[in-house]
Amino acid sequence: MHLHNQYGYGQLFCFSGYDGETSRDDDFVAMMMGEPITLRFHFDKTVTLKIPVGEKAVFNAVTGDILDGEDFFIAFLDKNTIVGKSPVKPLFLSEGDNRPLQEGNTAKIRTNFAYFFLTTEERAGAYYFTFSYRVRNTKVLSQEELDNLKSKRISYFEKLPKCKDERYEQLYYKCLSVNKENIYSAEGEILCRWTTPDRVPHRFMWIWDSVFHAMAFTQYDLDMAKDCIRSVLSTQEEDGFLSHMMGPYGGFSNVTQPQVLAWGAWTIYQKDGDKAFLKEVVSGIAKFLRWTMKNRDKNGNGLLEWFTEPNYTECKCGESGLDNSPRFDFAMDMDAVDFSTYLCNDAKYLALIYEALGDSQNAAYFKGVYEGVKEKINALLWREEDGLYYDRTFDGKLTGVATPASFLPMFAGLCSQEQADRMVKVLLDEKRFWTALPVPTMPKDSSYYEKDMWRGCSWLNINYFLILGLRKYGYIELANELRERTLNAVWKWYKKTGCIFEFYDADDEICPFYLSRKGPQPEVPDYREHIHAITDYNWSACFIELLINEIYT
């Protein structure tokens, strides 16, 4: 087993809800800064724990909760405490005024929002330390206790499925670490463990992110996969509405997100045949689909429209998950090809769930939804001369704005073989979609194309959907090529930075740190100035794992 061992800016360091209690509102989460080992905590004023081991430090393992080297070890003990050993004395740094008070070998530091305690003991030429937040924990662990903690943290990975493609072994274990670090424990209104896209800066729970996380956990921890689905449904309103963003104490939005919950639940069921789990979640998923059909079909034609915010420049359609896509630059309602496709796909899986539970009436109803929406998508959203699907404005005109959503009916198996063949020809156009790292979220020949998030960058969830679609229609070699191009690009930037990114350059030329994200980045990446492509991004890690092990569900 070769664990990830590259220290670098942007990686997260925190205590996982897999190992014990966490607290979303008092989130003691660090981001690694460029100089080893510099851990910055993003409170209103930043606080930094610095262990200046130097640029030549050799790391054996860099996970979300341990940093292990030849003569140092740093780890999270619990949600408020970091412990470790170093050849140099650890330092506490903070922005603004703070009042340090030395109490024996403990430095008590008061900031304007919390107390911190740094206790250091020198033993046999090394510094053993404990760094705690809000809770006075000044117990410094012995070498034996640190060794036991390291063994416990590493044993987590030893028990997981092995990497099936040895070329990407370190990347694979990095992804498993990202999955783990982005788990929260039960808290507030969320009564089971739950996941977040990234504990800096997002920290909330999202609908489709949670399902994507479940898809990865299905491969090695079915209980955690089920919790990903349960946690979302635990926040559901009585009428079936699910907020696209939610937290244990609120933070809910008034928009929703793509319907993928039935797909996720069915994927889990395929692993263990747990009908009790299906029975637990089926009602909530059905209510959610009924809510979307009732509330996102203004013109009553059976196709769904995203809720958009045309005056919100940076995020015109957060509901779609494609925040700043040029599809939404037009201030008008549109029947959305992707929203309708997600509905179709989830209705199909919901029908299968009801069949498994012996409920023929509801199975027939949702199978009817699938067939009806499928027919409408093909009748109203397909443009024969282009060989693509498009969004449709309420006056009956197709927008002609091509994006990966134009290929998405392949993912759900909604098109004919002839239509799939037409779409593949468009997909393979190197001037449009078949870039160095396919598939850009806008074609390169579009006047709307930019290297900015959903305006032209490549996303791993989209690539995974298209790989599934290509495989459905017999394009196995092409699907494999898309897999290879995707993994090669991810591997390239992983080796340079140690990070898993939210999105990537479709030309595979620019490091994701320097891509625009709702605007240009500063010369030196800094979350406090502008959020760059998110690092240690959970759904990217999930799809990388699935692609490395060639899991197509």
* Residue 7 belongs to a domain: no
> Among 116-130, 325-339, 448-462, which is the least confidently predicted range?
325-339
d(C-alpha 10, C-alpha 515), whole Å: 15
What three-state secondary structure class fits 412?
coil
Per-residue pLDDT at 435: 98
**And the tokens for 172?**
């694979």
Per-residue pLDDT at 391: 97
* Residue 304 belongs to a domain: yes
Q: Is the pLDDT of residue 95 over 80?
A: yes
Domain boundary among 403, 427, 451: 427
Per-residue pLDDT at 44: 76
Q: Is the pLDDT of residue 313 over 90?
A: no
Per-residue pLDDT at 529: 80
Q: What is the DSSP letter of 97?
A: -
d(C-alpha 522, C-alpha 526), whole Å: 7
Q: Which residue has the higher pLDDT, 502 or 529?
A: 502
* Residue 306 belongs to a domain: yes
Domain boundary among 99, 124, 158: 158
- What DSSP line would sit under 469-483, residue for residue? HHHHTT-HHHHHHHH
Buried b (16+ CB within 10 A) or exposed e, 200-211: bebbbbbbbbbb
> Among 131-145, 243-257, 516-530, which is the least confidently predicted range?
516-530
Q: What is the CATH number of the domain that holds 355?
A: 1.50.10.10
Q: Indicate the angle between helix axes 476-497 and 538-548, nearest 10 degrees.
A: 130
Instruction: Confirm if 5 and 62 have CB atoms less than 8 A apart.
Output: yes
* Residue 264 belongs to a domain: no
Q: List, in order, residues 6 or more apart from 545 with CB less than 8 Å away.
A: 172, 175, 176, 179, 216, 219, 551
Give the position of tokens 């997981």: 160
Per-residue pLDDT at 525: 74
Q: What Rg, from alpha-carbon coordinates, does the chain have?
A: 24
**And the tokens for 117?**
């305690």
d(C-alpha 172, C-alpha 548), whole Å: 7
Residues 50-86: tens digit of each pLDDT: 999 998 999 999 999 999 999 999 999 999 999 999 9
- What DSSP line would sit under 436-488, residue for residue? SS--BSS-TTSTT--SBGGGT-B-HHHHHHHHHHHHHTT-HHHHHHHHHHHHH
* Residue 385 belongs to a domain: yes
Alpha carbon of 471 to those of 65, 423, 481, 551: distances in Å? Answer: 37, 14, 12, 12
Give the position of tokens 């040895």: 166
Domain coverage including residue 420? 296-427
Domain boundary among 394, 427, 460: 427
Per-residue pLDDT at 146: 98
Per-residue pLDDT at 275: 98
* Residue 519 belongs to a domain: no
d(C-alpha 452, C-alpha 504), whole Å: 10
Residue 314 CB coordination number (10 Å): 12
* Residue 35 belongs to a domain: yes
Question: In sequence order, which ranges of 247-357 are alpha helices (DSSP H)?
Answer: 261-272, 275-295, 337-356
Residues 327-359: tens digit of each pLDDT: 998 878 999 999 999 999 999 999 999 999 999
* Residue 208 belongs to a domain: no
Q: Is the pLDDT of residue 96 over 80?
A: no
Q: How many domains does the chain have?
A: 2
What three-state secondary structure class fits 127?
strand
Confidence label for 211 from pLDDT (cuts 50, 70 and 90): very high
Instruction: Confirm if 442 and 455 have CB atoms less than 8 A apart.
Output: yes
Nearest in space to 267 (alpha carbons), one of 205, 345, 182, 367: 345
Confidence label for 130 from pLDDT (cuts 50, 70 and 90): very high
Q: Is the pLDDT of residue 261 over 80?
A: yes
Q: Is the pLDDT of residue 97 over 80?
A: no
Per-residue pLDDT at 281: 98
What rounded mean pLDDT belongs to the chain?
95
Residues 397-422: tens digit of each pLDDT: 999 999 999 999 999 999 999 999 99
